[in-house]
Amino acid sequence: MREKIFAAPCVLLSLLTSLNVCCGKFGTPITDDVSKLSLLKHNIPSDYEIPVLYIPQKVAGACWVVLNVYPLEQSLRHLADMFGAVSSNKENILVFIAMLKSLRFTFDHQELETAMQVFQCHYQEASLKNQLYFDYVENILRVAGQEASGFACKPPPCLNTANAAGGQKEGRDSRWWKRTPLLLVLVPVTACIVLIIWRVTSTRRLAARRAEEMEMAPCDSVPSVSVSVPPQKAAGDALAEESGGAGHESR
C-alpha cells in the first residue's frame, strides 16, 4: 500500500513531463542542433540567395517570432527541396523544419492565423544570401528559446491605409514591376508585326490596282501590221499578171 502511495507522485510527474514535451507549454522545443547552422553556411555557396517572407522585428514587436515562424518554415521547405534525398544539407535543414514546426504547435492555431492576417500588409519578400539567411534563422530560434512569445501586440498602420485589408495595391504594384521587362519586349515585337502586315497589305493593294488599270485601258486603236514583200517576188507577180492578161485577150 505504501509503495502505491509513493508511486502515484512519480506517475503524475511522468504525465507532466510528457505533457511538457508534447505540447510545449512548459518549455520550448529548441535544441542544441542550432549549431548545425554553421555547417549549412559552409556547405551552401555564399552568394546563393534564398527567398523568404518576413516581418521586421521593429514592426512585429513582441509577436516577431509568432509571425515569422511559419513563413520561415515554408522557406526552409523550399530550400530542402533543392537537395537530393541523401544530401546531408537536406538532413540538417529538416532538423530546423521540425524544430520550427514543434515551436508552431505550441501556439494556438486560430490565434496564429488571425495575427498573420492582421499583420498581412507588413510582410515583405526578400532574397537573402547564405550568411544573412541563416543568421536570421538562428536569431529566430535564439529569441524563441529565451523569450516567451505571445499574441499581445497590435500592428502599426499600413503604409497605405486604403489597402490595409491586405496590401492589395502593393501586390498589384509589385506584379506590375515584375511584368515591365516583358512589356518592354512585347511592345517593339508587336510594332514590327503590325508594320510587316501593313507592308504586305499595301503591296497586295498596289498590285491589284495596277491589274485593274490594265484591264480598263481603251481597246479602240487596232495595231497596224506592215508586211514587207521582197522586190524579186513582187516583179514575178507583176509578170504573171501581165502574161495572164495577154492570154485572156488572145482568147
Ranges 82-86, 102-106, 133-137, 163-167, most confident: 133-137
The one-letter amino acid at 216: M
pLDDT of residue 173: 58
B/e letters for 79-89, b = 16+ CB within 10 Å, e = fewer, are bbeebeeeeeb
Does 9 or 26 have the greater pLDDT score? 9
| List of domains in the chain | 20-156 (1.20.1250.10), 163-192 (no CATH)
Mean pLDDT within 140-159: 80
> What 3-state class would DSSP assign to 50?
strand
**pLDDT tens by residue, 63-108:** 899 999 999 999 999 999 999 888 899 999 999 999 999 989 988 8
Which helix (H) or strand (E) segment is 67 a member of? helix 64-80
pLDDT band at 22 (very low <50, low <70, confident <90, very high): very low
pLDDT of residue 27: 45
Decide: 163 and 170 in contact? Cβ < 8 Å. Answer: yes
Does 85 or 13 have the greater pLDDT score? 85
